[in-house]
Amino acid sequence: MDRNEFKPPARVMIVAGKGGVGKTTVSATLAYVAARAGLRTLIVEVEGKSGLPELFGRNEALSYEETVLLAEGEAGRGAAELRARTLTPDDALVEYLESHGLRRVSKRLSSTGTLDVVATAIPGIKDILVLGKVKQLEVLSASGAEGAPEFIVVDAPAAGHAVSFLASAYGLLDAAPVGPIRAQAIEVTSLLGDPARCQVMLVTIPEETPVNEAVDTAFHLEDRAGVKLAPIVVNAVWPHLDLVMDGSEGSVRAAAEFRSQRQALQEEQIARLASMLPLPQVILPFLFTTELGRGDLEVLAESFAPQLAAAEGR
């Protein structure tokens, strides 16, 4: 794969979805596709409980400092380096204070254990600290600085929090008429409102409740956060089989009937999603394994890349 086969829709792709639909797996797959295409890629995890390293065969936990998940060339000829990191409000606040000449204050807050108190003093301040750091990374990416990521994937909070997470900047615009918080909120809304800089990719599975939640989240994100939605990913879709049950008996027939019902259910939900949410769909296959690994990412990436290109009209 080369750069002509994968062009990111935006410099930052925020991946969001209901808990349990495979949001982290889709984040890893998207990042893997980009790295294979030769783009220096960074995955940002914001909840501090990611299983991302295991997907790439790594055991070390992520931290605020960037960790190399794939070295240059490790994902194939021409593949770029893939890194990952966590972004926590406390760490972002310390970095913000230190970068503004307040190193002594940040040390004092850390030593007295009051960082969390400060970070929660204003509703939405935690989210704006994290989004402000994402904005800073995107600006670095746009500058083309040596070693800067060319594509950033954010593994966002689960759908319920994702809306408030992304809408926090707009809330702070009303709450803070002047000052550095307002300035940060303005810069973040500028990022979220520019589809060349940032888009949101929703993930769901072909079941009734996740589909309903994906549709609600999509409309809330467009209304309250002003973001552009990328193609939606329908994850864990069982491959279609033309089953012939004539002559089958017992457990074989029961299994065939179960599979047939499952296929009908997911096809119904995929069609319902298309009717309620006019977004291109990317369908990823269900993988019959208990723990996903690097080989599974290869399988998902082979399916993901051409569908995303087709959805983007390339």
Per DSSP, the residues of the chain read --GGG---SSSEEEEEE-TTS-HHHHHHHHHHHHHHTT--EEEEESSS---HHHHTT--SPP-SS-EEEE-TTTTSTTPPPEEEEE--HHHHHHHHHHHTT-HHHHHHHHHHT-HHHHHTSSTTHHHHHHHHHHHHHHHHHHHT-TT--SEEEEEEEEHHHHHHHHHHHHHHHHH-SSSHHHHHHHHHHHHHT-TTTEEEEEEE-SSHHHHHHHHHHHHHIIIII-PEE-PEEEEEEPPP-----TT--HHHHHHHHHHHHHHHHHHHHHHHHHHHS-S-EEEEE----SS--HHHHHHHHHHHHHHHHHHTT-
Compute the average pLDDT of residues 98-127: 62
Query: Tell me: the pLDDT tens digits for 29-50?
Result: 999 999 999 999 999 998 776 6
Compute the average pLDDT of residues 52-67: 91
Rg of the chain on CA atoms, in Å: 21
Check pLDDT > 60 for residue 114: no
120 pLDDT band, cuts 50/70/90, is low
Q: What is the pLDDT of residue 255?
A: 85
84: left (phi over 0), alpha (psi -120 to 50) or beta: beta
Q: What is the pLDDT of residue 250?
A: 80
Assess contact for 24 and 155: CB atoms under 8 A.
Answer: yes
Assess contact for 19 and 161: CB atoms under 8 A.
Answer: no
Q: What is the pLDDT of residue 107?
A: 60
Check pLDDT > 80 for residue 133: yes
Check pLDDT > 70 for residue 108: no
Check pLDDT > 90 for residue 89: no
Assess contact for 84 and 24: CB atoms under 8 A.
Answer: no
Supply the mean pLDDT for the chain: 86
Query: Tell me: the pLDDT tens digits for 147-178?
Result: 899 999 999 987 667 888 888 777 777 766 76
Strands 41-45 and 67-70: unpaired
Q: What is the pLDDT of residue 24?
A: 94
- Say how far apart CA 259 and CA 183 lie, in whole Å: 55
Compute the average pLDDT of residues 179-203: 90
Assess contact for 232 and 280: CB atoms under 8 A.
Answer: yes
7 pLDDT band, cuts 50/70/90, is confident
Compute the average pLDDT of residues 62-73: 94
Check pLDDT > 60 for residue 119: no
Q: What is the pLDDT of residue 84?
A: 96
Look at 309 and 276; give whichever has higher pLDDT. Answer: 276
Strands 12-17 and 151-158: parallel
Percent of the chain with pLDDT over 90: 51
Query: Tell me: the pLDDT tens digits for 255-286?
Result: 888 888 999 999 999 999 999 999 999 999 99
Q: What is the pLDDT of residue 162?
A: 81
Check pLDDT > 70 for residue 103: no
- Say how far apart CA 109 and CA 87 lie, in whole Å: 18
- What does residue 44 show for φ and ψ, rounded to 5 degrees? -110, 125
Percent of the chain with pLDDT over 70: 87
Token pair 């240059």 in the structure block, residue? 72
122 pLDDT band, cuts 50/70/90, is low
Q: What is the pLDDT of residue 256?
A: 83
Written as six digits, the tokens of 60 are: 């070390």
Assess contact for 176 and 185: CB atoms under 8 A.
Answer: yes
Q: Is 193 exposed, middle or buried (0-12, 13-18, 19+ CB in 10 A)?
A: middle
Q: What is the pLDDT of residue 90?
A: 75
